[in-house]
Structure formats: structure tokens, C-alpha cells
């Protein structure tokens, strides 16, 4: 079922959904099931599975020369989505990114996803890898999420890269895109970021999932700006609890967002790790309750494959 259909059928009720990482190379699917088993009890509407680009590593050969190797630490997004849908009968949503894919690779991936009965995608440009100062598109691929959306919408109308195909099958993917209440870190300002978001919606995006935030007013202002720009598709807030002292620096550094001063000061004054965790969970629970009262279509939790914190928050909210 499409995400938009889930929202329509909920009839105003706030949906619960989660995002997980694929298992590390060398692990099996049971690692994913172990993460999801406690969360599936709470009946998520859908489960997102991230995709990770290939990284490059250098290893010294016997002759002393360095050789570059491509590695992917977390392969298997498509297969994990198929396993989730088969095992739990819950809609799984793969992340589809620009980086590392030609247009032909993308079309092949979409054909596979269509064969598997996967109805939804989260379409993203993707982040630069560690060896890139800025994002570098694949030769013969896409540089922007908007271009990737265009390819998906073309397949939704039966237009493949091979122009000679006759009476080709039309796909029917529901397309999700990312939104940034505090703007994308590469955007010069929020206005420009909103301009590109509107472009993605005009090209066929069906719903928006936001980057995590810890100040609900940022989300409320973001929704208001969207509606003023005639961006009227569902906007699902992305949520993550702060649970460790290191999160004070790692979350702003990795996700380019601000932490409210009152939350940060509470964490600084906390006596131990358990107290920090309780502060973060209580903040997240209150945040979710306020969002739910506001009437958000769903609460989407970034679990990072740690289900226990998400479950504690969700049980207190839903």
C-alpha cells in the first residue's frame, strides 16, 4: 500500500513508522528482525531502509603499491525490503539515491522493486562519501534528486530508457522526498531550499519526510512556509531521541541542526548516563505528544537500528 493511502485510511490518526539501517556486511537478516520485532508489535504503517553508497579504501599490495577498492559496508537494501514485507507483511520503503548509479542502474533497480511488489520509494540525492569534498554524481547518472524523481515518474507512465519498447508496463511508485526544517546544509538559505523542495513536488513527489529536529516550532514554521508556497502534500516529521552526552556534538555535526538551549543545558547538568537518557527520552515524548496534538500525519523515527529507545517513546505516545 502507498504511504499516501496509509495516511488517507488513518482518517486523521497519527501513523507510526520507523527507519532502519541494513545489517553490516557479514551479518544476516536475523539482525534486522531482532531490531524490528519489538517495534512491529506497535504496528508501524511502514518501515524505511536506508541505502549506503560505496566507499573507497586503499590496501597495500605485496609490491608496495596501493590499490583502491570499492566497498559497501551495508549492502542489501532491496533484499532487506523484500524480506521485511514477506516476514512482517508491513510496507517497506527503500531509499533510492543518485550517488553510485547510472540511469540504467536506476531503471534496473526500479524494475526489481516493482517485481517485488514494493509500492513506495524515498528519493534522495545522497550524501558525499568520505573521499569527496562535495557530492560527485556518477557518470551517466543523476546529479540532483529532482532528476531522479523525473526518471521514476517517467516509469510511472511507462516511459523506459529504451524508446523502442512497445506497450510497456506502467509502474506506480509513491514517491517520498526529504524536507529540511532547518534547511539542507548545502543550501545558501532556507528560501532557496524551499524553492527546490517545491520543484520536487511539482515533478511528482507525493509526500515529505523531514530531517530530525528537536524544536517543534521549526517544524510548524516549515509546514506554514510549505503551505504558503502551495506545497500541499503530507509532511511527516522525522524524530530521534537524544540519549547520550556525545549527541550534544555529534547530532549538530552530522545532521546540521540546532539543539534547543534548554535541552542542552539539562544534559550538561545531568549526573550520569542514565539521567541523560531519561532527559532525552522525556524531551522526545513531549515533543511527539505536541506534534500529535498538532495533527501530523505520522511520526517517523530514525532508529539507527536501536529499537529500545524508539519503543519507549512510541509506547508513551501511541
Q: What is the pLDDT of residue 73?
A: 72
Positive or negative, the CA dihedral 208, 18, 94, 214 is positive
Report if pTM > 0.75. Answer: yes
- The residue assigned the cell 524508446 is 163
Instruction: Please report how the helices 247-255 and 261-269 are oriented relative to each other, as an axis angle in degrees rounded to 10.
Output: 150
Query: DSSP secondary-structure letter at 240?
Result: -
What average pLDDT score do residues 289-303 get? 97
Look at residue 163 in the predicted model and tell me its pLDDT.
Answer: 83
Can you give the pLDDT at residue 174?
98
Overall domain count for the chain: 1
Active-site annotation holder among 19, 186, 228, 274: 19
Q: What 3-state class would DSSP assign to 91? A: strand
153: containing domain: 3-317
Query: pLDDT tens digit string along 55-98?
Result: 655 566 666 666 555 566 777 899 999 999 999 999 999 999 99
104 is catalytic: no
173-226 tens-digit pLDDT: 999 999 999 999 999 999 999 999 999 999 999 999 999 999 999 999 999 999
Residue keyed to cell 531490531:
35
Q: CATH no. for residue 151?
A: 3.20.20.220
Angle formed at CA 37 by CA 286 and CA 8, multiple of 5 degrees? 60
Q: 70-79, 99-108, 154-163, 295-304: which range is least confident on average?
A: 70-79
Which pLDDT score, from 0 to 100, does residue 69 have? 56
pLDDT digit string (tens) for 266-287? 999 998 999 999 999 999 999 9
Give alpha helix (H) positions in the chain.
Answer: 3-10, 29-40, 77-88, 103-115, 145-156, 190-203, 216-228, 247-255, 261-269, 273-294, 307-317
Q: Hey, what's the cell of 75?
A: 549492502
Amino acid at each position: 500500500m502507498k504511504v499516501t493511502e496509509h495516511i488517507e485510511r488513518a482518517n486523521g490518526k497519527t501513523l507510526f513508522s520507523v527507519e532502519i539501517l541494513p545489517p553490516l556486511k557479514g551479518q544476516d537478516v536475523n539482525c534486522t528482525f531482532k531490531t524490528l520485532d519489538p517495534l512491529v508489535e506497535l504496528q508501524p504503517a511502514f518501515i524505511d531502509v536506508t541505502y549506503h553508497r560505496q566507499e573507497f579504501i586503499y590496501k597495500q599490495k605485496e609490491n608496495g603499491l596501493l590499490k583502491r577498492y570499492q566497498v559497501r559496508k551495508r549492502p542489501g537494501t532491496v533484499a532487506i525490503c523484500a524480506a521485511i514485507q514477506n516476514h512482517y507483511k508491513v510496507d517497506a520503503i527503500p531509499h533510492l539515491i543518485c550517488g553510485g548509479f547510472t540511469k540504467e542502474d536506476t531503471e534496473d533497480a526500479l524494475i526489481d522493486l516493482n517485481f517485488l511488489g514494493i509500492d513506495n520509494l524515498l528519493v534522495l540525492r545522497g550524501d558525499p562519501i568520505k573521499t569527496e569534498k562535495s557530492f560527485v554524481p556518477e557518470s551517466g547518472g543523476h546529479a540532483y534528486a529532482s532528476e531522479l524523481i523525473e526518471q521514476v515518474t517517467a516509469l510511472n507512465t511507462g516511459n523506459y530508457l529504451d524508446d523502442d519498447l512497445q506497450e510497456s508496463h506502467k509502474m506506480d511508485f509513491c514517491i517520498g522526498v526529504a524536507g529540511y526544517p532547518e534547511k539542507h546544509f548545502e543550501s545558501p538559505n532556507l528560501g532557496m531550499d524551499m524553492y527546490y523542495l517545491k520543484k520536487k513536488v511539482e515533478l511528482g513527489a507525493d509526500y515529505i519526510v523531514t530531517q530530525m529536529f528537536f524544536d517543534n516550532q521549526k517544524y510548524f514554521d516549515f509546514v506554514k512556509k510549505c503551505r504558503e508556497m502551495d506545497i500541499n502534500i503530507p509532511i511527516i516529521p522525522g524524530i530521534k531521541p537524544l540519549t547520550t552526552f556525545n549527541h550534544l556534538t555529534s547530532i549538530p555535526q552530522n545532521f546540521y541542526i540546532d539543539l534547543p538551549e534548554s535541552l542542552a543545558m539539562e544534559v550538561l547538568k545531568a549526573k550520569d548516563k542514565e539521567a541523560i537518557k531519561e532527559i532525552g527520552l522525556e524531551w522526545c515524548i513531549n515533543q511527539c505528544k505536541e506534534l500529535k496534538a498538532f495533527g501530523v500525519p505520522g511520526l517517523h523515527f530514525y532508529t539507527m537500528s536501536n529499537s529500545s529507545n524508539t519503543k519507549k517513546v512510541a509506547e508513551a505516545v501511541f
